[in-house]
Amino acid sequence: MASLNLKLFCCRTGQSLVELLLGMALISLVIPALLSGLVAGREGGQQQVSRLTATALMDQALEVVRSVRSAGWVAFAVNGLYHPAADGTSWSLATGAQSVDGYTRVISISDTQRNSSGAIVASGGTPDPSTKTVTVTVSWSTPFPSSVSTTAYFTRYMDNLTFTHTTYDDFLGGIFSGTAVVNDMGGEVALGAGGSGDWCAPDLTIASLDLPKNGVANALTAIPGQAFVGTGDNASGVSFADIRVDNNHPPAATIHGTIDGYKTNDVFGEAGYVYIAADLPAPEIVIIDLSVSPNAEVGYFNAPANGNGSAVAVSGNTGYMITANMLYNFDLSVKTGERPLRDSNGVSLAGTGTQMMIVGDYAYVSLTGTGTKLQIVDVSDPLNLTVVGYSDINSAGATDVFINSTGTRAYLVTGSSASQPEMFIIDTSVKTGSRPVISSYDSNGMSAKGVIVVPGNRLIMIGTGAEEYQVVNIALEGSPVYCGGLNIDTGVNGVAGVIEPDGDAYSYIITGDASAEFKIIEGGPGGSYAMDGTYISPVFDSGFQTAFNRLEFNRSVPNQTTLTLQVAVADAVSGSCDSADYQYLGPDGTSNTFYSAAGAIPVHDDGVGYENPGRCFRYKAYLASLDSTATPALLDITVNYSP
C-alpha cells in the first residue's frame, strides 16, 4: 500500500513538472507579444495624434489661401511654393516650405488646365487664367514618416460671369463685311447669302424704273440702297438721277433727285455726294451734294487740259479723273468750290483712258487706241503719280476694268473682236512690269461696255450685240465658262453690284429701253455665297475692369468652308468703350493665330493696345467658303469673365 502511494506521488509530481514547463514556455511566448502590442498601441496613438495635428495645419493653410485670394488675385496667382505667414492682423504667403514643431508644411500654387469642353484635366489642356490649383501638404517623421495632402481650385472670383450671343438680335448690332445675320437656326452669322436668286439664271421680274426725260443712260455706280445714274449719249435726258432702292424683298426703286444742264460721261457716288465726269471742257468734274433738296452743285475740278471728263473715281479724300490720255488727281478734303490739283503733272497714259478703279495704293486704268489695255498707277504719293505696271493684249480697245478687293486680280473687258476674246483675267498680285493674262472668255459677239464680279465666283459682263447680259463662272479662273444670261436688245450700258445689309445681293443695270432704263436683277444662292467675309461683334462693356477668361462657341462648318475667331480686350477711353483700341488676337496672344475651338483668352496687361484684364470686349469672326453652295455659320458664342 505504501508502495502504491509512492508511485502515485511520483506520477503526480512528474505531471506537475511537465505542466510547469509548459506554462513557462507559454509565458515566454505571450509576454513579448503582449509587450509588443502595448508598445505598438502606444506608437499608433501617437501617430494618430500626429495625423490630427497635421490635418489641422493643412486646414489652416487652406483658410490662409482663401484669405489671401480674397484680398486680391494678382498677388495670389503667381505659381510657386509658399507657406502661411502672419502679417500683423492679416495673413500672407511667404515663399518656400515651413517647419512647425516638427511638421513640414508647403503650399503649391500652379496653373489649372482645361480641355476643349472646359473640364479640368491633369495635362494636355489649356491654362485657365482665372483658376489656380492649390495643393497643401503637411509631412512629419515621427513616430514614423507620413504626410497628409489636399488639393483645391481657386477662381478669380467666387462666381464667374458670362455673356452670350445666340439670337438674331444678339448678332444684329455687329459690323458685317460679306456676311449677314440670318435666322435659319435661331439666329446665326453666315456668309452673305445674296438673296434668293441664281446669278446664272437671271430674270427681269423686279419692277424697272423710268428715268426722267428721254436721255440714254450711260453711266452707273451704286452703294447699298442707292444708285447713281448719268445720261450722256444725247441731250434729251437729265445729267444725273439719284435713285433710292429700299431694303424690301423684292426692292423698289424711286427717283430721289436730279441734276440737269450737261451730258454725263461717268459718275461716281458715295454717301452724301456724287462726282460727275461731264462732257465739258471746263470744269470736267462736277461735285453734287445729295444731302440737300433739291440736289445742288457745290464744287468742281478743272483739269489742266481742256478735254472732256471721261472717267471719275474717288478714294478717301482724293479724286481721280481721266481726260483723253491723262490721269489727274485732286484734293477732296473739302467738297465745295474749286478743288485743287495734287500732282501738277498728272500721269500720261499709253492710250486713251476709258475707265479706272482705285484699290489701296493703286489705280487700275483701262485703255483703248493702244496695244496696252491696262496700266497700273502707284498713287501712294498723291504729289507724284507713277505708272508701274501694264498688260499688253491683242484685242479691241478696253472699255472697263474691275479689281478684286485685294488688288490681286483685274477683270478687263473690250469691244467686240472677231478673232479675240472680250474678257480677260489678269494677274495683278505683283504691280510692276508686264502683268500676265491668266485666262480669257469669248462672249460670242458682244461688244462689252462694263464688268463686275459678284458673290459666288460669278462675273457679269454687259454690252451691246449678241446676248447683252452674260454671267460667267470664274470659280476655276483658268477656265471661265458661261453659266447664264439675258437678251436685252436695247443694249446694256452700265452695271453695278450691291450686297444689302441683310445679305441680299443684286446687280443694277441701265439699258437703252427709253421707258424703263433702270433694272434690278436678283442674285445669290441658287446657291451662291460670298467667298469670304468677316463679322465684328457689338461691343460688350462689362462696366468694370475684369479678366476675360474663356471663349466658347458653336459653329456649323460644311465641307470646304472655314470659320475662325479672334478676340479683342481693351481699356475704356474716358470712361467709354466707344473709342477703345481693339486689337484682335488668337489663342497664343498674337494676331497670327485664330480660335477654331474653345480656349482661354490671352492675358496681357502693359497699358497699350490689347489689355486683359480690361473693360471692353469684342470678337471677330472670319468666314470663308470654296463651295458657292455652302456657308459656315457662327451659331452662338459664350465668354466667361470675372473681376
CATH of the domain at 572: 2.60.120
Separation in Å, CA 373 to CA 358, 442, 453: 16, 17, 19
Q: Of 95, 126, 155, which marks where a domain is finished?
A: 155
Of the listed ranges 24-28, 33-37, 264-268, 413-417, the least confidently predicted one is: 33-37
The answer to whether position 569 is within a domain reads: yes
Among 155, 181, 213, the domain boundary falls at: 155
Over 60: is that where the pLDDT of 41 sits?
Answer: no
pLDDT (0 to 100) of residue 35: 47
Greater confidence, 228 or 125?
Answer: 228
Domain with 554 in it: 161-192+532-642
Please tell me the total count of domains within the chain.
Answer: 2
Task: Classify residue 19: in a domain, yes or no.
Answer: no
Instruction: Indicate whether 114 belongs to any domain.
Output: yes
Task: Give per-residue pLDDT as tens, 454-479.
Answer: 877 889 999 999 999 999 998 889 99
pLDDT at 1: 47
- Average of per-residue pLDDT values in the chain: 87
Residues 168, 148, single domain; the answer is no
Q: How far apart are CA 369 and CA 345, in angstroms?
A: 22
Domain stops at, among 155, 183, 215 = 155
* Same-domain status, 596 and 621: yes
| pLDDT at residue 4 in the model | 43
Chain segment 264-313, per-residue pLDDT in tens: 999 999 999 999 998 888 899 999 999 998 999 999 999 997 789 999 99
Residues 175 and 104 in one domain: no
Instruction: With a cut of 90, say whether residue 417 has pLDDT above it.
Output: no
185 and 104 fall within a common domain: no
Q: Which residues of 573-608 are buried (b: 16+ CB within 10 A; e: fewer)?
A: eeeebeebebbbbbbeeeeeebbeebbbbbbbeeee
Q: How far is CA 93 from its chain centroid?
A: 43
Predicted local distance difference test score (pLDDT) of residue 11: 47
* Best CA proximity match to 367, nearest among 395, 392, 397, 406: 397
Q: What is the pLDDT of residues 54-92, one digit of tens each?
A: 999 999 999 999 888 877 776 677 899 999 998 778 888
* Residue 151 resides in a domain: yes
Examine residue 607 and state whether it is found in any structural domain, yes or no: yes
Q: How confident is the model at residue 526 (pLDDT cuts 50, 70, 90)?
A: very low
Task: Answer whether residue 121 is part of any domain.
Answer: yes
Residues 545 and 621 in one domain: yes
State the pLDDT at residue 635: 96
38: CB partners within 8 A, 6+ apart? none
CB 364 within 8 A of CB 356: yes
Examine the domain organization and report whether 63 and 101 are in the same domain. yes
β-pairing verdict for 481-486 and 469-473:
antiparallel
pLDDT band at 6 (very low <50, low <70, confident <90, very high): very low
DSSP one-letter string for 135-203? EEEEEE-SSS-EEEEEEEEEESSSS-EEEEE-SHHHHHTSEEESEEEE-SSSSEEEE---TTS-TTS--
What integer pLDDT is reported at residue 8 of this predicted model? 41
CA 447 to chain centre: 40
Q: What angle do CA 475, 481, 485 make, to 5 degrees?
A: 110
Residue 94 is assigned to a structural domain of this protein: yes
Is residue 342 pLDDT above 80, yes or no?
yes
The average pLDDT across 256-260 equals 90
What value does the mean pLDDT take over residues 590-618?
90
